Amino acid sequence: MRINKLFAMLALSGFFLISCEKDDEELQNALSETEKNSKTEQANEIEVEHFIYKGMNDIYLYKADVPELADSYFIDDTEKNEFLSGFGSPEKLFDAIVSSQDRFSFLTDDYIALEEKFEGTSSSTAGMKYGLGRIGGTNNIFAFLQYIIPGTSADEAGLTRGTVFTEVDGVKLTTDNFSALLDKNSLTINIGEIQNGSIVMSDETTTLQHSQYIANPVHIAKTLDVEGQKVGYIMYNSFIADFDGELNAAFGQFKAEAVTDLILDLRYNGGGSVESAVDLASMITGQFEGEIFMKEQWNKKYQDHFEMNNPERLINRFNSEIRTTEAINSLNLSRVYVLTSGKTASASELVINGLEPYVNVVQVGETTTGKFQASVTLYDSSDFSRDGANENHKYAIQPLVFKSSNAAGKSDYISGLEPDVVYAEDLSDMGVLGETSEPLLKASLNHLLGKAQQTKSASAKMAAEKFRTVGESGMNSPTYQKMYTDKLPPVIPE
């Protein structure tokens, strides 16, 4: 009996041990599953941050400038997740991992709106393209119209270049309120002009409607007969891919009219598509097909990959077709005049810099912005393309991915490209765009014809001293002064 009891006790004890071991194993499994679910939940909460970091870590031009973007910076995923979740918003994370030398990379929470901007859709105030000036010694702002988009509210109201306004809905524009006032869907502005170095307002007002429109960047294209010479004049205001056909048609017109010189007006052109810039340079020339127009410099990872596997990927050459495969209308010129201002940027500067090793580029106006880097749109997908983009959000990043240099190696023009003929617009005499009397166009024609340059009047000098330009319409747009490429590079495996 005692032996049977002993066996029974040992059996019971073994049962409890096995049972406890199973309980411990189940508890450990449950804890592991909870921890796993917690990590998954945490990762889902910062999926936008994960996408932003992945894109910047992979392809960002200035990756080497940001310690946190180094491949070996984090010990493990837990440490990286803690870093990504510590900023409170995707925007704050993005700002924290952008290089201090980068003025142009950006993040958007609505890539649909971004795509519309790249296609040329605009909602700039009522079709007015204006500069903003600050009246000396005050916080008051005035707007001066640079040009009007045809078919818009401003066009229908009869507004013209050079018109000045200082109020919206009876409220004076100031450094604190001008953005909010000018962004209204409907706005009533007062009407004035600059006379003898002073702003003179009339009693007239006009009401405008803020609306969405698509503006053709080929604003003016005409052939001027100047003392027996046929001179093509084109005002091109943005490098928009969807209007490459219109640009090529303008050059077809110049070719048919046998122009011998060209004046390219980029004074208000803040840039856009790299491919459109290459095509424009090829339209101006034609005799350099296949030659190097621009070379690209990526971050070390991509630069090494392209140099080893596809060096031609780093070269942009003068070509014979626009992206639709339509033949380019080339003028075969050996000289071109380019009108510039401090707002001339990115793809506009690319055209000037890319042409300089091949033809005589006579720059007339003011020093340009100084942007020589290009960006690309990255979506939250496995290869950063639009296809398969994460449907949980509409975030996209537009990081700088390469800097450009011309065939002679010129790049890094941080301070801008300086003009050969210095001439700033006179706010008291802005003239009519496309007319030979318009001051900046006249300055280029005088140089072309070998004539002496006109001097500024006392009132013009007075106005320049009294009014300081502080911005322009569209300067808060994500595409402002941006240069971008449509060629998304492959994801390089680690």
Q: Which CATH number fits domain 214-472: 3.90.226.10, 3.20.20.80, 1.10.287.470, 1.10.630.10?
A: 3.90.226.10
Residue pLDDT, tens place only, 426-483: 888 999 999 999 999 999 999 999 988 766 655 555 555 556 677 888 787 777 777 8
pLDDT band at 8 (very low <50, low <70, confident <90, very high): very low
Average pLDDT over residues 378-395: 95
- Does residue 348 have a pLDDT over 60? yes
Q: Which residues contact 211 (CB under 8 A, 6 or more apart)?
A: 123, 126, 127, 152, 153
- Does residue 9 have a pLDDT over 50? no
Query: Which tokens is 350 given?
Result: 């690319």
What is the full DSSP assignment across 65-81?
Answer: G-GGGSTTS-SSHHHHH
Compute the residue count for the chain: 494
Please tell me which residue, 465 or 145, carries the higher pLDDT value.
Answer: 145
Mean pLDDT over each residue of the chain, to the nearest integer: 89
CA dihedral in degrees (310, 315, 316, 321; nearest 10)?
-40
The pLDDT, as a whole number, for residue 463 is: 54
- 353: three-class secondary structure by DSSP: helix
The pLDDT, as a whole number, for residue 460 is: 55
Give the residue from 341, 182, 321 showing the smallest Cα distance to 244.
Answer: 321
Listed in order, strand segments (DSSP E) in 61-197 are 106-108, 121-122, 128-135, 141-148, 164-165, 167-168, 171-172, 186-195
Poorest-confidence range of 238-247, 394-403, 477-486?
A: 477-486
* pTM exceeding the 0.85 threshold for the entire prediction: yes
pLDDT band at 213 (very low <50, low <70, confident <90, very high): confident
Q: Which amino acid is at 76?
A: D
- Does residue 4 have a pLDDT over 80? no
The pLDDT, as a whole number, for residue 1 is: 45
The pLDDT, as a whole number, for residue 123 is: 56
Element (H, E) at 7: helix 2-45
Average pLDDT over residues 84-101: 96
- Does residue 17 have a pLDDT over 50? no
Tally DSSP H helices, then E strands, for the chain: 13, 23
pLDDT band at 10 (very low <50, low <70, confident <90, very high): very low
The pLDDT, as a whole number, for residue 166 is: 95
- 335: three-class secondary structure by DSSP: strand
Residue pLDDT, tens place only, 332-341: 999 999 999 9
Residue pLDDT, tens place only, 303-323: 999 999 999 999 999 999 999
Task: Work out whether strand 213-214 and strand 218-226 pair parallel, antiparallel, or are unpaired.
Answer: unpaired
pLDDT band at 126 (very low <50, low <70, confident <90, very high): confident
Q: Which amino acid is at 329?
A: N
121-213 has which fold?
Answer: Pdz3 Domain (2.30.42)
Helices (H), 266-376: 274-284, 300-309, 347-355
The pLDDT, as a whole number, for residue 28 is: 60
Residue pLDDT, tens place only, 285-304: 999 999 999 999 999 999 99
Please tell me which residue, 184 or 107, carries the higher pLDDT value.
Answer: 107
Residue pLDDT, tens place only, 18-71: 455 555 566 565 555 545 444 444 545 799 999 999 999 999 999 999 999 999
- Does residue 227 have a pLDDT over 80? yes
Average pLDDT over residues 4-19: 46
% of the chain residues with pLDDT over 90: 73
Domain ranges of the chain: 53-102, 121-213, 214-472
